[in-house]
Structure 1
Amino acid sequence: MKKVLYVFLGAVLMTIMLPGCSKKAAETATAPGAADKDVNIYMFVSSPEYADAIGELIKAYKDVKPNVTINYETTQNDYPTLLKAKLNSGESPDIFSSTSGKEIGVYLDYSADLANEPLAQSMSDPVKAVMMSGDEVHGLSIKGNYFGIVYNKGIFEEVGISSFPQTFSELETACKAIQAAGYQPFSSGFAEWWVYKHVFQHFMYAAQPDDVEGLVKAFISGDAHMKDYPALYNDFFNFIDLVVKYGDTKPLESDLSTEIAALGTKKAAMVSGQGAWIEADVLKIDPSIQIGFDGYPINEDASLCKVIAGSDQAVRISKDSPVLEDVLDFVNWWYTSDYGKSWFSDVAGVIPPIKGAKTPDFEVIKQGNAHVDKEGAGTLGVAYSTDSFHQAFGEIMQSYVAGVLTKDAACAEIETKWVELEG
């Protein structure tokens, strides 16, 4: 389990206000006696890939509110299980996270409505749409996202491939050429349960492009079956098999750090299940790498090879937090202050989820924008199921990769989990 615990302590004698911080945060920071009252906020969120960036955010807020200590903990693999254990024991974090979309409803009774907070006015409309329950806003986002295949353009050009494959047969041909040139075509990340959900949503889109949400609901009700959708029963498993064949020697030991290292050192030409969030770490390994980004080649229909865009994660505020007003001051400052707005691009290097913020100068984001402008985007299918299902799905696929489950057995278990966990 990847787990990081950050605790930011210390005292600052004078309050240093950052330019542009929200009025609410500014008033609290300068109120008589505010600096004398020590406040502890417990922040427990997934996405350890943003641990350093969130650490910088917390340090910056310490300058605004010296009396506020934010105890920050992050983990990935067991996050849904650990969060539920904390909530069931009455130890709700002041700030926690979940998948956006359907999972907004799962934790509705635990999370505060942010609709009347300044941050809700700053949030971009597409992001806000997947954070809402009726007219209420029950989440904010660390980032917008693009999902697709991140690859090394230099390797592709070296082996004579001028453009990224748009069909499955073209992808298979590319893998053979890359392997013949002495490179590993893929690094899989298959030790991570969440990698599978990122990949699978591309095939869910291909299975029913006009209504992914309706397809998910049909699986949840037990009315849909994998065998009835070739994009799921054939194409998805063909892709997983291809990555295993042309990927890491031990795919179930390949995690996020493995993929980043493999791409950055030119060991592998492509990585699966990733997006814009890995580019900064790859560039730290090789600042001159030529990053490429494209959709997943599904089958022989090139029009289905699309990137997916959207905000898949929500940061939630506990409505029962004993320091609720202090927590709201922090998240409002995050979304409305000059530093907070610049943090998304300049520190985290992500697609900002707020209006009017600049985007970082990353190839995945620039190429993602170009893909969407030209061809449109695939549907963010992960938003229609909860992470309880996604984790179970990933574990089933790990058993398939290990050879423990056949394709038919894996499909049967996936269908059962959809009904059991989501119905």
Structure 2
Amino acid sequence: MFKSKRLLALTIILVMAASMFFTGCSKKEEVAQETGKVEVDVFQFKVEIAKELENAARDYEAEHPDVKINIQTVGGGDDYGAALKARFQSGNEPDIYNVGGPQDLKDWTSKLEDLSNEPWVEKALDGVLSGATMDGKVYALPFNIEGYGFVYNKGIFEAAGIDPTKIVDYASLEEAVKTLDGKIKAGELKEKYPTLEAVFEYAAKETWVTGLHTSNVALSQEFPSSLDAYNSKNVEFKYGDSLKKIIDLQADYSSNGKTRAKLNAVDYSTQVEQGLAIERVAIIQQGNWVYGGVKSIDEKVADNLAILPMPVVGAKEDSIPVGVPMHWAINKDSDDASKAAAKDFLNWLYTSEKGKDYVVNKFYFIPAFKGYENFEPQDSLGKAVKAYAEAGKTVPWVFMGYPTGWGMDMLGANIQKYLAGEMTWDELIKDSQERWTKERS
């Protein structure tokens, strides 16, 4: 009886799944038949550009009245990777979606359309297609080039008498942080910055901040590229002590410095909109993508931001990580009409004059392609990242080569345990090493 009930339940689930799949397909086909429009479903992660991407889609539709672009954004505090898998498993597969670097390309091989012959490929800047290339073929379009580090408020530093140009290594960074902390606690900056309460805000709830971005600063000194990380069977944590210093500095001089476990509840919004943007804190570990969010709250604050290096003691100390954050991919199993429209939309977005305007002036992206001479970054953080890049003071983004889930679900979770006092640093390193090796075996 129990077995027959299980079989019945399994049959019902399979029928429902099949129904969802065929209903999804037929609905899309029905819309196309009724409206005469080709539909393109976009499933993307970058919440910072959600509204602007919608506007770009409407402009594209105005020029291409036979196409309808549907956009769904899942990101921020949500796990985009898990959401993407669920979307594909539901049978309602998107036409355009996002992939990271070499590990994602391997994971999604069966669903990637070959984009090697697309017009934008020959316009790509040197090196930016490495994370989108597999077996000599290009399978994805780079979003942009991004850089991150310690984003800081120049006005607060000036008021505290701190010269940011002299912060070129960990020792000078630590000295500046201690100086600023002392002035905040003494109330010396209260009159000009009444809401200022701490040097840092560290979003430890966001394991992409800790397990990917923070860790990358140290592991980029160990692996020359994401491909090297992807091909490595082991992780040494050669600069593990330096990584600990960077984490401890942010934690100890945050608004929860004496209760570090509370940092595990600090999310992106608390760090950016409710931290840096309202001048409650002076520094956050983030990148040029926060400019738009800060600007929407206080444009004067946004225009007064810059980036300090994230120094790794014993390695490069005057640099910031710069790389391609994510890529646009096209589902090779979509129907031919949807694939053709998807390819055209992405090409329009990155090579047309109107598309370029969106990319640089509305998304606040640093383009990964040639042909943007008339679209130089105008925002404070875009300019800062470009200055680091032009000076050669950069380290690569290698976290795209981490084993699937290792950065966020394993290392990021371990950092939370460390901050909560549930794991020592040595235990964190040992466990993270073992789990890397296990994932690669």
| Normalised TM-score (structure 2) | 0.80
Point out where structure 1 has 5 or more consecutive residues left out of the alignment.
Answer: 1-32
- Supply the distance in 1 between the matched residues of 2:159 and 2:116 (Cα, whole angstroms): 52
- The answer to whether the 8 A contact 1:103-1:386 is kept is no
Aligned AA (2:199): P
What is the CA distance between 1:138 and its match in structure 2? 0.7
What is the CA distance between 1:137 and its match in structure 2? 1.0
Deviations 1:177-198 (A, max 9, x none): 2222224111112111111211
Deviations 1:244-278 (A, max 9, x none): 11113332222222222211221111101x11101
How many aligned residue pairs are there?
A: 381
- Supply the distance in 2 between the matched residues of 1:348 and 1:52 (Cα, whole angstroms): 9
1:305 has 2:318 as partner: yes
Residues 327 and 35 (structure 1 numbering): CA distance in 2 closer, same or farther, change over 3 Å? farther
In the other structure, the counterpart of 1:291 is 305
What is the CA distance between 1:167 and its match in structure 2? 2.7
In the other structure, the counterpart of 1:198 is 213
Aligned AA (2:251): V
- Supply the distance in 1 between the matched residues of 2:121 and 2:226 (Cα, whole angstroms): 27
Deviations 1:308-363 (A, max 9, x none): 22212111100001222222222222222221122111210110122111232122
Alignment of 1:132-281 (within 5 A): 132-163=133-164, 165-182=167-184, 183-196=197-210, 197-206=212-221, 208=222, 214=228, 217-218=231-232, 221-222=233-234, 224-226=235-237, 229=238, 231-232=239-240, 234-249=241-256, 250-261=262-273, 262-272=275-285, 274-281=286-293
Aligned AA (1:167): D
Alignment of 1:354-393 (within 5 A): 354-357=369-372, 358-385=375-402, 388-392=405-409, 393=411
- The answer to whether the 8 A contact 2:349-2:359 is kept is no
Residues 225 and 394 (structure 1 numbering): CA distance in 2 closer, same or farther, change over 3 Å? same
- The answer to whether the 8 A contact 1:166-1:302 is kept is no
SS at match of 2:391: helix
- Supply the distance in 2 between the matched residues of 1:172 and 1:387 (Cα, whole angstroms): 34
Aligned AA (1:173): E
What is the CA distance between 1:71 and its match in structure 2? 2.2
What is the CA distance between 1:241 and its match in structure 2? 1.7
Aligned AA (1:240): I
Residues 302 and 383 (structure 1 numbering): CA distance in 2 closer, same or farther, change over 3 Å? closer
Residues 214 and 62 (structure 1 numbering): CA distance in 2 closer, same or farther, change over 3 Å? closer
- Supply the distance in 2 between the matched residues of 1:83 and 1:53 (Cα, whole angstroms): 21
- Supply the distance in 2 between the matched residues of 1:248 and 1:52 (Cα, whole angstroms): 31
SS at match of 1:185: strand
In the other structure, the counterpart of 2:435 is 417
Residues 89 and 115 (structure 1 numbering): CA distance in 2 closer, same or farther, change over 3 Å? same
Residues 422 and 45 (structure 1 numbering): CA distance in 2 closer, same or farther, change over 3 Å? farther
Residues 210 and 318 (structure 1 numbering): CA distance in 2 closer, same or farther, change over 3 Å? closer
- Supply the distance in 2 between the matched residues of 1:120 and 1:215 (Cα, whole angstroms): 25
What is the CA distance between 1:89 and its match in structure 2? 4.5
SS at match of 1:166: coil
SS at match of 2:408: helix
- Supply the distance in 2 between the matched residues of 1:67 and 1:212 (Cα, whole angstroms): 40
- Supply the distance in 2 between the matched residues of 1:336 and 1:178 (Cα, whole angstroms): 45
- Supply the distance in 1 between the matched residues of 2:134 and 2:160 (Cα, whole angstroms): 50
Residues 122 and 217 (structure 1 numbering): CA distance in 2 closer, same or farther, change over 3 Å? closer
1:399 has 2:417 as partner: yes
Aligned AA (1:288): K
- The answer to whether the 8 A contact 1:35-1:67 is kept is no
- Supply the distance in 2 between the matched residues of 1:386 and 1:56 (Cα, whole angstroms): 35
Which structure has the larger Rg over C-alpha atoms?
A: 2
SS at match of 1:71: strand
Point out where structure 2 has 5 or more consecutive residues left out of the alignment.
Answer: 1-31, 185-196, 257-261
Residues 416 and 67 (structure 1 numbering): CA distance in 2 closer, same or farther, change over 3 Å? farther
- The answer to whether the 8 A contact 2:361-2:378 is kept is no
What is the CA distance between 1:214 and its match in structure 2? 4.0
| Normalised TM-score (structure 1) | 0.83
- Supply the distance in 2 between the matched residues of 1:34 and 1:329 (Cα, whole angstroms): 21
SS at match of 2:407: helix
Report the RMSD for the aligned CA atoms in angstroms. 2.4
Alignment of 1:45-60 (within 5 A): 45-60=44-59
Residues 194 and 72 (structure 1 numbering): CA distance in 2 closer, same or farther, change over 3 Å? same
Alignment of 1:312-323 (within 5 A): 312-322=325-335, 323=338
- Supply the distance in 2 between the matched residues of 1:367 and 1:176 (Cα, whole angstroms): 24
Deviations 1:58-112 (A, max 9, x none): 1212212234332222222311112223334444321111212442232122110
Deviations 1:289-317 (A, max 9, x none): 32121220222x58433112221211110
SS at match of 1:308: strand
What is the CA distance between 1:154 and its match in structure 2? 1.3
Residues 68 and 420 (structure 1 numbering): CA distance in 2 closer, same or farther, change over 3 Å? farther
Residues 372 and 409 (structure 1 numbering): CA distance in 2 closer, same or farther, change over 3 Å? same
SS at match of 1:304: coil
- The answer to whether the 8 A contact 1:294-1:368 is kept is no
Aligned AA (2:288): A
In the other structure, the counterpart of 1:12 is none
- Supply the distance in 2 between the matched residues of 1:36 and 1:342 (Cα, whole angstroms): 30
- The answer to whether the 8 A contact 1:148-1:307 is kept is yes
Residues 119 and 212 (structure 1 numbering): CA distance in 2 closer, same or farther, change over 3 Å? closer
Residues 309 and 34 (structure 1 numbering): CA distance in 2 closer, same or farther, change over 3 Å? farther
What is the CA distance between 1:211 and its match in structure 2? 6.5
- Supply the distance in 1 between the matched residues of 2:382 and 2:361 (Cα, whole angstroms): 14
Residues 199 and 389 (structure 1 numbering): CA distance in 2 closer, same or farther, change over 3 Å? same
Moved more, 359-368 or 312-321: 359-368
